[in-house]
Amino acid sequence: MDDVYSPFPWLDELLTGGADTVRCGFADMRRHRDRPGDLPFALSLMVRMDDGIMDSIANGPTRPYFEEYTRVNRLIDDLGASVVGRIEGLGYRARQVPASATANREKLTASFSHKQAATQAGLGWIGRNCQLVSREFGPRIRLGTVFTDLPPVAAAGAAITKSFCGKCDICVKSCPAGALSGKSWSPGMLREELFDAVVCNTWKNRQFAHLADGSKGLCGICVSRCPRGKAARRKVTRADNC
């Protein structure tokens, strides 16, 4: 984000990516209906997943992927709780939406789509794999959201309103369940137009639940294969080698 300034150093650090694997952006959510507590703004929190583990699941998930997924979700929830505590300490309201929570078990939807806040905060777009594709890390990330009435202390990021997947359809072709429609995202599109959650979930649970201690299965093939995530890895590797 450009021109970031806030009187709160902890927030500056989050907004400017103080940690190498964490990114954060402010989103103006006043136009959105499903806001908890009618809070007008959102801090979208994004944490990068381990590249070595993500590379290793191109043909199917592994136990380390399940552990990484769990670790990063926990990290986001801890980060969110700490942000909520700081904001409430300033006398404002804040409410966290956990990284991974299914509110409607039949439709497999969450109480709030973190991706909405992330696109609104300018952190990325929704790819053909129905995941948030970050400019920096591709889809190798997990998201959380903190809603608040703390007035934006930094300029809200310019919302991303189009897909940058171009003609790529690698994720669509690599999905073993055939759950991805191949359509290109635009704001306001229903999730069902991009992706069949029931087909994806049935596949994951049938194939991979044993990796997840019998809880809901994970897959991640469409995330691992995305060239945007691999390109991010190449950049890091080059920088590391300099």
Residues in contact with ligand SF4 by the rule CB under 6 A: 127-129, 133, 165, 168-171, 175, 177, 179-180, 200, 203-204, 219-222, 226-228
Give the DSSP per-residue string, 2-21: -S---S-HHHHHHHTT-STT
Give the DSSP per-residue string, 140-200: -EEEEEEEE-SPPSSPPPPPP-S---TT--HHHHH-TT--B--PPP-TT--HHHHB-HHHH
Half-sphere CA count of 191, side-chain side, radius 13 A: 16
**In the bound complex, what is the minimum distance in angstroms from residue 111's beta carbon to ligand SF4?**
21
Q: Which is nearer to ligand SF4, 37 or 227 (CB)?
A: 227
Q: Which is nearer to ligand SF4, 40 or 127 (CB)?
A: 127
**In the bound complex, what is the minimum distance in angstroms from residue 179's beta carbon to ligand SF4?**
4
Q: Which is nearer to ligand SF4, 148 or 163 (CB)?
A: 163
Q: Which is nearer to ligand SF4, 30 or 216 (CB)?
A: 216
Angle, alpha carbons 222-228-232 (nearest 5°): 125
23 DSSP β-pair partners = 46
**In the bound complex, what is the minimum distance in angstroms from residue 167's beta carbon to ligand SF4?**
8
Q: Which two tokens stand for residue 173?
A: 């072709």
Q: Which is nearer to ligand SF4, 110 or 177 (CB)?
A: 177
Consecutive H or E run containing 70: helix 63-89
Helix, strand or coil for residue 62?
coil
How many Cβ atoms are within 10 Å of 56's Cβ, its own excluded?
Answer: 16
Q: Which is nearer to ligand SF4, 67 or 169 (CB)?
A: 169
**In the bound complex, what is the minimum distance in angstroms from residue 198's beta carbon to ligand SF4?**
11
**In the bound complex, what is the minimum distance in angstroms from residue 89's beta carbon to ligand SF4?**
39
**In the bound complex, what is the minimum distance in angstroms from residue 134's beta carbon to ligand SF4?**
11
Distance (Å, whole) CA 196 – CA 96: 27
- Residue whose CB is nearest to ligand SF4 in the complex, by number: 127
**In the bound complex, what is the minimum distance in angstroms from residue 62's beta carbon to ligand SF4?**
14
Distance (Å, whole) CA 18 – CA 8: 13
Do 35 and 28 touch, CB atoms closer than 8 A? no
Q: Which is nearer to ligand SF4, 30 or 235 (CB)?
A: 235
